[in-house]
Amino acid sequence: MRSTWRTPDPALLRDVLAIAASVAVSGASFGAIAVGSGEPWWIPSLMSVVVFAGGAQFMAVGIVAAGGSPVAAVLAGLLLNLRFLPFGLAVGEVLGRSPVGKLVGSHLLTDETVAFALAQREPARARTAFWLCGGTLFVAWNAGVVGGTLVGRSIGDPAVFGLDAAFPAALLALVLPALRDRPTLRAALVGAVVALATTPFVPAGVPVLLGLVGMLALRLPVPVRR
């Protein structure tokens, strides 16, 4: 256990704090949007502590606010978080053998914690990176959500200061590099077209689920240039 809490590398600490700052902004955006959509202030705070899954939380609140059913919101969140199954297998050794450590570590499992852990070459450094990143992001996200709820209650409409666009902009920034890959770009375009085309005809939240058919485009053959 001592090796888990070894002094982190200054560069690692700097990178974690930089990510934490952006996560806090996203958390504030979520809190403001949730309160602006009519939710009590304590709902987004409790949800952030218990769920701690930014993308799934945004999607669930957005679907319900648009008039979708809670079932559609839950299904969309579960599908979005399916990626954590292989993530958990990839960092299983980092969490250790303790049941408590595995339980807490699985709750702190995010894209960022996995990326920081897998970027380390030594197991001890990987554990340090995972727990440092996970704990810091958990605090930053929840602090941002609390601040966002307070701001949301004051301004009413989160769109006034552009808080509603913070999370979509962050997701777009993360997705853009992946779109350089032709199969990924094709799958994204197909999913977007299906979601937009079905939006006027199906309940809120369902177009997001239907957009998953874009993954079928990954099975299409890619032409080879000669």
CB–CB of 108/52 below 8 Å?
Answer: yes
pLDDT in tens, 144-179: 999 988 887 776 555 555 555 655 665 666 567 667
Does the pLDDT at position 25 exceed 80?
yes
Residue linked to tokens 């606010």? 65
| Six token digits for residue 144 | 């941002």
pLDDT in tens, 110-148: 888 888 888 888 888 889 999 999 999 999 999 999 998
* Greatest distance between any 2 Cα atoms in the chain: 61
CB–CB of 164/30 below 8 Å?
Answer: no
Strand, coil or helix: 53: coil
Q: Could you tell me if residue 149 is left (phi over 0), alpha (psi between -120 and 50 degrees) or otherwise beta?
A: alpha
pLDDT band at 2 (very low <50, low <70, confident <90, very high): very low
**81-87 contacts: CB < 8 A, separation 24 or more?**
81/53, 81/55, 81/56, 83/111, 84/109, 87/111, 87/114
Q: How many helices (H) and strands (E) does the chain have?
A: 11, 0
Q: What is the pLDDT of residue 204?
A: 62
The arithmetic mean of pLDDT across residues 180-185, rounded, is: 80
Distance separating the N- and C-terminal Cα atoms of the chain: 55
pLDDT in tens, 41-71: 888 899 899 989 887 888 788 777 777 778 8
Strand, coil or helix: 72: helix
